[in-house]
Structure 1
């Protein structure tokens, strides 16, 4: 049975923001807001929303300039504007207490928003956040990878054409990306990518006052061991883990490993059903 409840729009900071809602309110469990990455409309995180929705009321946001949220030639795509959107979304939804899970760009948005002040923020999960910034090594992905694939999708393409950009993805994942990638505004992506190198999120980390969990990919070069050590120094008490068999797009590469990496940080295990199934098999064997 699907955990999907509805899509919705709110008017925040002068623009329309769209979100997808999964799951029902659970007593004793905070709602969760998921912030996807630089070219990931909310619908592409639907499979994650479904799993989260089993345990939490879950909102997956279309970041401005992506999906069904507003875009435009004069829209502000800065990190500060995106962070203000998160605060505005939580206020518009009347969430008095909630957790945030940010992947890649979404993690940087969450860090900036937490530093700026997020009333009601209970916990923060940073999933393979780009650690680039002023005076730091560049983000390992290339801008043309994003731009070329967006332009291809904007002309219309099928899953097979998208495979050149995401060779390890399943046919279903490729079909969804081919269908929705055109909704990512090219200027929004360019400005966010530039921001990976000009925004100093490390200066924001010390201002976070809620429990933090860092989930890093086991493959790729986005978050290295020394980056983890630095984040732990800047955010004392932050818990960390790696998903060994995954690259930057962790839930696409190792979905079950991604859920297991949360453990009970959010208040309930996302892999609880899998664990119970394993326990049942063990008792029978």
Structure 2
């Protein structure tokens, strides 16, 4: 944890989040999640279907707060701090493989008592959701994949270089602010840039390095065609991660999937076009049987 400073100012952000911090174990790791339905569950109110939200490569759970808040009338959102991010442990063995991430998904559903669950992932989280959905014995209610990286062997590189990620992490660890974050993410709201400034430093260096390597060595299309229905792939109209050719290949490879384009959005779909992205997700949830 020595290279993962989480300062009091960042922890204080949790006071404004309408969720309960919960913990579960995956192997030897203690992993953290924000549960937006825990209070209702404890009070005996009829529990809504669960949606497990899996963030991206440098996005602790709190970064998806603005998404989870907008879904609580439909579902019980639970946002995971992926291993090596936020308040979750980093693995001593440096295992950030898709297999390890999907182990964590199964552990979250069981350890948090989520029952029938829809998987909602953005970027890295979308790859994890797809890999989890095809595991033998998996019985998720559905999946929503938002702009999954389509780089891999024999394909173009992931558009954001590892050096760019490392530069942002270095800025966060020396101390940054919303104005400097705007240099990378000028379209984000002030609150989201402030959260980025305070929480990015919680990401372990190896969580970024190893995952980025996975973007180059693992092919999303090796398992996308096996993702069961119902599944929806949401992508940004201006995304360099899911470009027009990638969207066309995705539609052909999994003909039962719904593909939804969000206008005026790049890869950071929720941040670039929140209303369009949330409309797409809500429509997918409404079309997903969870009973």
Cα RMSD, aligned residues only? 2.0
CA separation of 1:214 and 1:59: change in aligned 2, threshold 3 A: same
Larger relative contact order (Cα-Cα within 8 Å, sequence gap ≥ 6): 2
What is aligned with 1:5? 19
Matched, 1:32 2:75: no
In the TM superposition, what whole-angstrom CA distance separates every residue of 1:65-120 from its partner, at most 9, and x where no partner exists? 11111015533111211111111111112233110111000001111111223633
CA distance in 2, matches of 1:93, 1:174: 30
CA distance in 2, matches of 1:119, 1:149: 36
CA separation of 1:175 and 1:5: change in aligned 2, threshold 3 A: closer
Listed as ranges, the matches of 1:1-285 within 5 Å are: 4-23=18-37, 24=40, 30-117=49-136, 119-267=138-286
Which TM-score applies when normalising by structure 2?
Answer: 0.86
Which TM-score applies when normalising by structure 1?
Answer: 0.88
CA distance in 1, matches of 2:23, 2:47: 26
Structure 2 unmatched runs, 5+? 1-15
What is aligned with 1:273? none
CA separation of 1:162 and 1:265: change in aligned 2, threshold 3 A: closer
CA separation of 1:233 and 1:5: change in aligned 2, threshold 3 A: same
| Alignment check: 8 A CA contact 1:3 1:54 kept | no
| Alignment check: 8 A CA contact 1:55 1:268 kept | no
| Count of residue pairs brought into register by the alignment | 268
Corresponding residue SS for 2:284: coil
Structure 1 unmatched runs, 5+? 270-285
Larger deviation, residues 111-120 vs 19-28:
19-28
Corresponding residue SS for 2:52: strand
CA separation of 1:181 and 1:242: change in aligned 2, threshold 3 A: same
CA distance in 2, matches of 1:198, 1:160: 34
